Amino acid sequence: MESLPEHISENVNPLRALSLDVLRQRTSEKWRAYPEDVLPVWVAEMDVPLAEPIARAIIDAVRLGDTGYASGTGYARALADFAAKRWNWHTLAVERTAIVPDVMLGVVEMLKLVTDPGGRVIVNSPVYPPFFMFVTHMDRQIVEAPLGADHRIDLDVLETAFRTTTATGERVAYLLCSPHNPTGTVHTEAELAAVAALAAEYGVRVVVDEIHAPLAPPDVFVPYLRVPGAANGLSLMSASKGWNLAGLKAALAVAGPGAADDLARLPVEVADGPSHVGVIAHTAALRDGAAWLDALLAGLAENRRLLARLLAEQLPSVRYTPAESTYLAWLDCRELGLGDSPATHFLDRGRVALTCGTGFGTGGAGHARFNLATHPDIVAEAVRRMAASI
Ligand SMILES: Cc1ncc(COP(=O)(O)O)c(C=O)c1O
């Protein structure tokens, strides 16, 4: 069995650090859901070693036995500093933040604050499948306002959804994914300002999931709450996707000035959900993980180019538009004629696991999501298997 790498320099592409043999020793969902002969490029975990500052912070906590309950505002302060440096966002106020167990449970708590049981929540399909699952589980109804063919928010479609849902006078929320999973679209400042203006006009409350924000180039991502007119929005942020910390649960809800009173109604017991070691890890990521993140972003850009080249060579009828953010590639496989779920074909015939598009709502059929956060050799082997299966 190959041994684990020791220290990895923070300026080296972390996607090249781990071999397939090492990765197969992992016990997380990505590596254990399928048999050994399947190459997993599905769930949003990254095949990277932990950034050194995060590993050090966790090891120090373990050595100290600092494994009690989460406390304090260190995570929120680290996020505010990171947001100021990275996104030129200087109005993230620590007193308008709340710690939540993870982003999806944070989304649920924010939606409880601004909608009523049975109420409606608008999403831009195709979108992250748990948006549908968590929202329906909490007794709210999903209303789809599909993205345009260019993978961008269609403001006319959104306005129609706002108008029809608010016509009854009920409280309505818009759950925005920014950057967007699965397309990787980074919404522009103008688009977000238009969203804020529409939300104000129709009285719709915006809850924005910004978990993928660190995975966008810093000069491209625009935090929703930084946009004029977005003051009564609520954002969910986390270091989870950027630094691969899904197993170390902790996230932050951030309120704009006009949503501070809503966030203040968050039940106190919600703050007991996150893991203290998770909070330590997320705080270290935001405080000391920028150099590692920059090396990762360069590696992801390389992998996007690699995937585009390999698909053009080996599977030219698969449509893929490399996006500016996330490590997710949204593949339009409809021309292959594999039906609604090409991922099922690639798994059965190619022994490669992608995420099936159908769970993403309208626009998902005939599509599959490919996770690029892996070694370039694994990207290449996955495409080879997909092509060989046709
Ligand atoms: C858009 C989006 N939101 C939330 C999550 C899950 O975050 P958490 O594990 O913090 O709930 C993911 C995970 O891939 C995601 O892509």
Taking only the tens place, the pLDDT of each residue in 226-282 is 999 999 999 999 999 999 999 999 999 999 999 999 999 999 999 889 999 999 999
pLDDT band at 285 (very low <50, low <70, confident <90, very high): very high
pLDDT at position 162 is 98
pLDDT at position 4 is 55
Q: What separation in angstroms does the CA of 57 have from each of 17, 71, 102, 281?
A: 21, 16, 20, 6
| Position 1 pLDDT exceeds 60 | no
Please state the rounded mean pLDDT for residues 350-360. 98
Q: Give 217 Cα–ligand 1 centroid separation in angstroms.
A: 19
Instruction: Pick left, alpha or beta for residue 15 (phi over 0 → left; psi -120 to 50 → alpha; otherwise beta).
Output: alpha
Predicted confidence (pLDDT) per residue in 368-382, tens digit: 999 999 999 999 999
If one residue of 107, 132, 211 were mutated to test the ligand 1 pocket, choosing by the most ligand atoms within 8 A of its CB, it would be 211
Predicted confidence (pLDDT) per residue in 148-186, tens digit: 999 999 999 999 999 999 999 999 999 999 999 999 999
DSSP assignment string, 241-282: HHHT-TTS--EEEEE-GGGHHHHHTS-GGGGGSS-HHHHHHH
Q: Whose CA is nearest to atom 13 of ligand 1?
A: 44
Atom of ligand 1 nearest to the CA of 240: 10
Please state the rounded mean pLDDT for residues 116-145. 98
Atom of ligand 1 nearest to the CA of 102: 10
Lowest-confidence segment of 1-5, 140-144, 235-239 by average pLDDT: 1-5
pLDDT at position 2 is 59
pLDDT band at 388 (very low <50, low <70, confident <90, very high): very high
| Radius of gyration of the chain from its Cα atoms, rounded to whole angstroms | 20
CB of 240 closer than 6 angstroms to any ligand 1 atom: yes
Predicted confidence (pLDDT) per residue in 213-237, tens digit: 999 999 999 999 999 999 999 999 9
Please state the rounded mean pLDDT for residues 90-103. 97
Q: Give 104 Cα–ligand 1 centroid separation in angstroms.
A: 6
CB of 246 closer than 6 angstroms to any ligand 1 atom: yes
- Measured N-to-C along each axis, helices 103-114 and 130-137 cross at an angle, to the nearest 10 degrees, of 50
Whole-number Å distance between alpha carbons of 363 and 152: 13
Token pair belonging to 324: 């500016």
pLDDT at position 11 is 78
Kind and range of the H or E run holding 22: helix 20-23
Q: How many CB atoms lie within 10 A of CB 337?
A: 11
Q: Are the C-beta atoms of 379 and 303 separated by less than 8 Å?
A: yes
Lowest-confidence segment of 4-13, 109-118, 124-133, 306-315 by average pLDDT: 4-13
Q: Are the C-beta atoms of 101 and 70 separated by less than 8 Å?
A: no
pLDDT at position 3 is 55
Q: Give 389 Cα–ligand 1 centroid separation in angstroms.
A: 30
Predicted confidence (pLDDT) per residue in 186-195, tens digit: 999 999 999 9
Q: Give 211 Cα–ligand 1 centroid separation in angstroms.
A: 6
pLDDT band at 8 (very low <50, low <70, confident <90, very high): low
CB of 177 closer than 6 angstroms to any ligand 1 atom: yes
pLDDT at position 146 is 98
